[in-house]
Amino acid sequence: MTLIREDDVIASVADALQYISYYHTPDFIRAMGAAYALEQSPAARDAIAQILTNSRLCAEGHRPICQDTGIVVVFVRVGMDVQWQATRDLEAMINEGVRRAYLHPDNKLRASIVADPAFQRGNTRDNTPAVIHTELVAGDRLDITVAAKGGGSENKSKFAMLNPSDSVADWVLEVVPEMGAGWCPPGMLGVGIGGSAEKAMLLAKKSLMEPIDIGALRARGPRTRLEELRLEIYERVNALGVGAQGLGGLTTVLDVKVLDYPTHAASLPVAVIPNCAATRHVHFTLDGSGPATFTAPDLALWPEVHWTPDASARRVNLDGLAAAEVQSWKPGERLLLSGKLLTGRDAAHKRICALLESGQELPAGLDFHGRVIYYVGPVDPVGDEVVGPAGPTTANRMDRFTDTMLGPAGLLAMVGKAERGPETVAAIAKHRSAYLIAVGGAAFLVANAIRASRVVAFPELGMEAVYEFEVRDMPVTVAVSADGESVHETGPAAWRGKFAGIPVAVE
Ligand code: SF4
């Protein structure tokens, strides 16, 4: 009989979450390194270089890989012979571990969880509660997998009830282009097949906890129909040419995982959930001997990829930026921004546009005329940092506000991640503006370009407040130019099938 102590569960969950906030898994690093080595699209290669450099910096600096430090998802397998020395129930223990991890003074993580999701959406301030899946199994161990799942990738999850005669691979190939780049590829796809509606979703999520091993599978060849399906989806998705950050390139997925379960004769439930460039999970077992320990990965694991500002990129001074210069930016052009940027995301946009549309003044000191906005919700700084990791958030959530921001608000250009909707691209062309992208999953690297930060408006919104950042050589790419050309359309179209026959990433 094993005695599991409450303190061991809490400490292990807290340590696990701190660990995955700054360490990618070794399999992920190897697969991303292989993708970098094979990539032939310059834009995608540059994005992967930023992701790898960011990953190493985070491992060295013990700071989060991404500003979105995720919703915590925990899979627990409780041995039926386990005994407890605890005053809390299991969910309360796990949530206490989450609280301690996210409030850790040396590496405070961003609290992203909101309660009352349909209405008030108030931040719970400590990232609780976790989403917890518990199974009772034979044995006397407590087996836990802890993951921190980014909102951008979770938002792209898909589910369908197919006809039993439908092709699962064809359906996945239909939905991946609809996901766009908001899930920050390259990453993984988890596919769940069978069971009931909720079981298929759970299988898809669970499959993402497995290590990346498609290289070994490709080398030895498939032995089961599910392995054949993994390979088929992997190869067909990569042939779509979506590429890193949706810029067009060879590697969109580093692996495809599939789990299945028996289902009703009339049904074929299928779910697909992507995992992003900030793939974060770790597994541990408690056997009563104390809390889990986590070993730091060897830094030699990281490939020798050290992204630095590209001398051939155009340097842009944001202070006194003229509309004519914005209009001269070419689609796909790499820029290095220096000067002052304003920030804002969903909640601030909602307030600003409500004020403007009702004819009211913006708060004192908040003026977007001639300015560039960065869609970001940074992690709080620690030590002598100016700001914590501060990568871009998915821009299309701001689409409904863009015409107002570019018109009455007077904004010149925007920085975010992933594609914009067609109406927004049209609004950008109408206002002769531009939309720039930074690399999702390179948040610590981007934060290194931020030299000063101050809150300008709505401080009560926390990470959603409007800040003014002073940046130096912040790397971005022109995603939509003033004439409305979008690289998220032209990039994948150019790379789709271009390298048919060239092997895609393997570990
Ligand atoms: S890498 Fe992209 S999808 Fe993943 S957590 Fe970061 S911003 Fe979100």
Instruction: Please give the Cα distance from 238 to 321 (Å, whole number).
Output: 39
- The mean pLDDT of the chain is 95
Instruction: Please give the Cα distance from 394 to 415 (Å, whole number).
Output: 10
Quick: pLDDT tens for 225-267: 999 999 999 999 999 999 999 999 999 999 999 999 999 999 9
Which atom of ligand 1 approaches the CA of 276 most closely? Answer: 4
Q: Average pLDDT for residues 469-480, to the nearest whole number?
A: 97
- Ligand 1: residue of 67, 153, 245 to mutate (most ligand atoms within 8 A of CB) is 153
pLDDT score recorded for residue 462? 86
Quick: pLDDT tens for 383-402: 999 999 999 999 999 999 99
Residues lining ligand 1, Cβ inside 6 A: 66, 68, 150-153, 183-184, 276-278, 391, 440-441
Reading the block at residue 207, the tokens are 């499959």
494 versus 200: the higher-pLDDT residue is 200
Quick: pLDDT tens for 97-116: 999 999 999 999 999 999 99
Nearest to 156 by CA among 277, 274, 278: 274
Quick: pLDDT tens for 407-428: 999 999 999 999 999 999 999 9
pLDDT score recorded for residue 210? 97
Instruction: Please give the Cα distance from 393 to 378 (Å, whole number).
Output: 10
Q: Are 126 and 102 in contact (CB under 8 A)?
A: yes
pLDDT at 498 over 80: no
Ligand 1 centroid–CA 185 distance in Å is: 9
Nearest to 128 by CA among 105, 106, 112, 144: 112
**CA Rg, the chain, in Å?**
23
pLDDT score recorded for residue 500? 55
Q: Which of 222-236, 254-268, 426-440, 492-506 has the lowest mean pLDDT?
A: 492-506
Quick: pLDDT tens for 157-173: 999 999 999 999 999 99
* Backbone torsions φ then ψ of 390, nearest 5 degrees: -145, 65
How much is the pTM?
A: 0.95
Instruction: Please give the Cα distance from 414 to 434 (Å, whole number).
Output: 7
pLDDT score recorded for residue 497? 66
pLDDT score recorded for residue 503? 52
463 falls in which pLDDT band (50, 70, 90)? confident
The fraction of the chain above a pLDDT of 70, given in percent, is 98
Task: Provide the b/e sequence for 125-158 (b: ≥16 CB within 10 Å).
Answer: ebbbbbebeeeeeeebbbbbbbbbbbbbbbebbb
Distances from the Cα of 46 to the Cα of 166, 186, 336, 393, angstroms: 38, 13, 13, 19
Ligand 1 centroid–CA 367 distance in Å is: 29
In what helix (H) or strand (E) does residue 399 lie, and over which residues does it extend?
A: helix 399-406
Q: Average pLDDT for residues 209-227, to the nearest whole number?
A: 97
pLDDT score recorded for residue 1? 79
Q: In sequence order, what E strands does 246-367 have?
A: 253-261, 268-275, 281-286, 314-317, 334-343
pLDDT score recorded for residue 310? 86
Ligand 1 centroid–CA 417 distance in Å is: 10
Which atom of ligand 1 approaches the CA of 441 most closely? Answer: 1
Reading the block at residue 482, the tokens are 């003033």
Ligand 1 centroid–CA 390 distance in Å is: 11
Quick: pLDDT tens for 315-335: 999 998 999 999 999 999 999
pLDDT at 506 over 50: no
Quick: pLDDT tens for 41-51: 999 999 999 99
- The residue nearest atom 3 of ligand 1, judged by CA position, is 152
Q: Is 363 exposed, middle or buried (0-12, 13-18, 19+ CB in 10 A)?
A: middle
Ligand 1 centroid–CA 493 distance in Å is: 24
- The residue nearest atom 5 of ligand 1, judged by CA position, is 150
Ligand 1 centroid–CA 442 distance in Å is: 9
Which atom of ligand 1 approaches the CA of 183 most closely? Answer: 3
Alpha helices (H) along 333-391: 346-357
Q: What is the largest CA-CA distance in the chain?
A: 74
Q: Which amino acid is residue 99, in one-letter code?
A: R
Q: Average pLDDT for residues 272-288, to the nearest whole number?
A: 97
pLDDT at 507 over 60: no
Instruction: Please give the Cα distance from 230 to 228 (Å, whole number).
Output: 5
- Ligand 1: residue of 66, 73, 252 to mutate (most ligand atoms within 8 A of CB) is 66
